[in-house]
Chains A and B, each alone.
Chain A
Amino acid sequence: MSDIHEDLARIVGKNWVSSQKEERYLYGRDPGLMPPHEPEYVVMPKTTEEVQEIVKLANREKVPVVPKGAGLSLTGLVIPQRGGILLDMKRMDKILEVNDKAGYVIVEGGTTHATLKSHLMKHYPHLRHSMPDSPPIATIVANAVIHGQGRLTQQHGFNSDMVSGLEVVLGTGELCRIGSCAVSQYWFSKGPPMPDLTGLFLGWFGTTGVITKLGMKLYPCKKIRDAMMFLTDRADLVPDIMRKLGRTEMMEDIVSSFAPLPLRLKGNFNILIIITGDSEEEVEFKRKMAWDTLWEYFESRDGGFLSVPPDMKPALLAMPSKDTTRFADTSKGGGFEYSGPITPIEKYPEFIAKLEELASKYKLFYASSARVIDGGHSMMFSFSYTFNRADPDSMVRVKTALDEAAEFALEQGGVIWKPNIDEQKMVMERMDPNTLKLMMKLKELLDPNGIMNPGNWEAK
């Protein structure tokens, strides 16, 4: 057993570190398509101090540190490209504070969306957070780190926009507070009126530090949530439909789904609209707004609302939605990955055409769901393909299709969301050179030994 193992055991206790084959095997891969690479050590810290000590140790020994939440981002972001220490954050799962009046929560670095959701339902039923549709074990911090989107993204932007403060262990092991919490006991702002330094950590995939605490804004949990479904068979109308709905500033969420199966979805763009209200009048008013907004498409017969029967509603309203998870196993054998560029809504028709083109070229089963972000400034468009892990050929076909989708998204003026290491290179190649230089300088400053999730956001 190496010294590092012993040192880690001394820091976290021997039950929470492993360099056994089994753990290294499991922590060397994620459910997506990037090739596996094993860590030497897997460690599960419980406190910020332990994280600090681990990072300091890693600096001393010049071994990589890769923070991991639930490992569900699918694009290999938690695969230790250069081995080293895999930092599994799951034990740091506490909810430290809910500030009801200012409307935020402070969670630890590995707290899951499920934990927060149930905590709020039980203790603060009038408050909610923006739940993504990933399996509920996904962590709040990692979701913010990759600029995830959830049920409130249509109204309030990326889930990372809702961050209201951070505590970070820098790549050097130093501890740092970011946002209002740096000068006050309150975690109400991630930066303003001071410089917003959260940008040094969000979107960096753990390459600049380990987030040990995060403040997240909470929003009113209205008493009533209801689902409406609008269909159109014209891709060219979807951007306007989504934009118009977004601009009502009345809808909780707007998601357009497109897939050849189940048959009821085939041939149409199925736009789910969630409305909320504290009273029947409020819900009715928003329902009417949705109808009025889309009346022209209804009249032209190019679009129409589908009445949603009561037995269908719970599935549409579920948070997280189970649909993507169900889709993920369509090919059986547990394989699913999506490329989800962030792009202007107007690109929807081109992206749909590409989705189908790639599916037919590589003989893949496909689906897409596009979520409106921040009232319509952009959307996340997913190119989702399934594969069977026992069929290597299907994996190659999906990977090739996703690579082409990423290339296409960039050509179209989109930006790749949670890019894998190859896609990060594509992004950096197109990036304004001075921006790239700035990024690299910042990275070097925060992680001088290059130990933090190496392989990611690396220019060379």
Chain B
Amino acid sequence: MLELKFDKSKCADCKAVSCLVKCQYMDFDKDTAKVEWQKVIDGEDCRVLHDCVTCYSCEEYCPFGNHPFYLIVERQEEKGILPAPRPVITMWINQCQPVGRFMVGKVEEKALSYCFLPIFNELVKGKLFDGIWPSMIFGQEFFCNAVYLHYARMSVIKDRLPKIVENIAKQGIKELVCLHDECYGTFTSIALAYGIEVPFKPIHYYEYLHDRLKELKAEIKPLNVKAAYQRNCSARLIPETDHFVDDIFGLIGVERVKREYDGENGLCCAELIRMSKGPKLADDVQKRNVDDMVKFGAEYCVFNCPACYDSLVERVMRAGIKPIRMIDLCKVAIGEEQSQKPALEGMPVLKAAMEGK
């Protein structure tokens, strides 16, 4: 049985209790946070286990890398606490279960992982992926499973992840470029926290893009735009990758607006909050987030995660900001077409508003 590497003593010595004090969705002062966190450690029922919106941020807030969020998830599951309605959890567990159906391209030692997200097939076109595509894998058999952190189902991750890692290794892959941020977070953070050996080198796609852009430097036409960056939940598992955003922006002439809700203070895209806590909180979080982008003069909103994009695309567009995925932004910078234009058909309210104009 895989066990979380969690060190109680680190928490005992911790004065700041940043995991809870910094939380943007629950209000704790240091003293109550200390008491509350001890309850989590001791496996007692407590507010955190019920009110956590599963934004993953405490993983980043903890200065000791002691995995407070993974502990919360474990405790929720032990106590049968459902962070989201049971059928929604069932839907996720069923939808992504490996059933022996997957797609592989001409896999070489270095390969792209689409995870279980078909959207990447559209995105990985053009010069940025010359030399690597069609070395790719896709499907439930390669799905990183990190999403179950939102649903108090660490057991599913522990059950499926070793096999997923094995499936990838079996393809003869030595270096895996993870197009899905969550995959990178899984193979580096979750796997490490549970002592799962990963026999290939995960590479974050931002690092890959950065390297490619350097190779294609002559073709870059600086965009000279201001962009808000939407941090996603799994970025909290791997904050060490955040500098790539600045590095890439630096290469392509994009200014990352210094807004309130970026960096450690970033706000969740909130669609999971909608499903778990209801529309009131979700609408509030999304509104504050997008208002903040507007306030700081963002022309673009750059997305890392496909789910964040889906959650915020309409709101962002209505605020007059252009939504774009990081891969597409890089493509535009080297003079290529953006492959993923927002599908107005799927945003009926916005479509009607635009047609009314």
User: A residues near B, CB below 8 A?
Assistant: 223-226, 231-233, 262-264, 266-269, 280, 283, 287-288, 291, 295, 297-298, 301-307, 309-314, 317
Judge whether B226 is part of the interface by a CB distance below 8 angstroms.
no
Q: Which residue of B lies closest to A306 (CB)?
A: B88
From known contacts A280-B349, A311-B310, infer whether A268 and B85 are also in contact, taking CB-CB under 8 Å: no
Inter-subunit contact A268/B311 (CB<8 Å)? no
Q: How far is the CB of B286 from chain A (nearest CB, A)?
A: 11
Are the C-beta atoms of B90 and A233 separated by less than 8 Å? Answer: yes
| Cα–Cα distance between A227 and B99 once the two chains are bound (Å) | 29
Residues of B within 8 A of A302 (CB): 85-87
In the complex with contacts A263-B99, A288-B279, A307-B275, A312-B346 CB distance below 8 A? yes
CB distance from A241 to the nearest CB of B (A): 11
21 cross-chain CB contacts under 8 A: A224-B349, A226-B349, A231-B85, A231-B91, A263-B99, A266-B94, A267-B94, A280-B349, A302-B85, A303-B87, A304-B84, A304-B86, A305-B274, A305-B275, A306-B275, A307-B271, A307-B311, A309-B307, A311-B310, A311-B343, A314-B343
Known A267-B87, A301-B85; further 18 A-B contacts with Cβ < 8 A: A224-B348, A224-B349, A224-B352, A225-B348, A233-B87, A263-B94, A267-B94, A283-B349, A291-B279, A297-B85, A303-B85, A305-B275, A307-B275, A310-B342, A310-B343, A313-B346, A314-B343, A317-B348
**A70 and B349 alpha carbons, distance in the complex (Å):** 35
A residues near B220, Cβ cutoff 8 Å: none
* Cα distance, A305 to B95, chains bound together (Å): 16
Q: B residues 65-97 with Cβ under 8 Å of A?
A: 82, 84-88, 90-91, 94-95, 97
Question: Is B141 interfacial (CB 8 A cutoff)?
Answer: no
Q: How far is the CA of A298 from the CA of B276 in the complex (A)?
A: 9
- Complex: A283 Cα to B85 Cα, angstroms: 24
Which B residues lie within 8 Å of A314 (CB)? 343, 345-346
Q: A233-B86, A310-B314 are in contact. Are A268 and B274 (CB under 8 A)?
A: no
Known: A302-B85, A314-B345, A317-B348. A307 touches B91 (CB 8 A): no
Give the CA-CA distance A223 to B356 in the complex, in Å: 10
A53 to B221, CA, bound (A): 76
CB < 8 Å: which of A268, A283, A313 contacts B91? Answer: A268
Shortest Cβ-Cβ A-B pairs, 6 listed = A304-B85, A310-B346, A309-B310, A231-B87, A264-B95, A313-B346
Contacts of B347 in A (CB 8 A): 310, 313
Chain A residues within an 8 Å CB radius of B97? 263
Interface centre among A231, A232, A302, A310 (most CB of B within 10 A): A310
Note all chain B residues with C-beta closer than 8 A to A305: 274-275
Q: How far is the CA of A295 from the CA of B279 in the complex (A)?
A: 11
- The docked-state distance in angstroms from the alpha carbon of A298 to that of B353 is 31
**Which chain A residues border B63 with CB–CB below 8 Å?**
none
Query: Given A302-B85, A304-B84, A310-B342: A267 and B90 within 8 A (CB)?
Result: yes
Question: B228: shortest Cβ distance to chain A, in Å?
Answer: 20
When chains A and B are docked, how far (Å) is the Cα of A291 from the Cα of B84?
15
Interface centre among B86, B87, B275, B345 (most CB of A within 10 A): B87
Query: B323-357 toward A: CB 8 Å interface, digit per residue (1/0)?
Result: 00000000000000000001101111101110110
Q: Are B353 and A280 in contact (CB under 8 A)?
A: yes
CA distance in complex: A355, B343 (Å):
37
A305 and B91 alpha carbons, distance in the complex (Å): 11
Confirm or deny: B278 has a beta carbon within 8 angstroms of a beta carbon on chain A. Answer: yes
Distance of A232 Cα from B356 Cα, bound (Å): 37
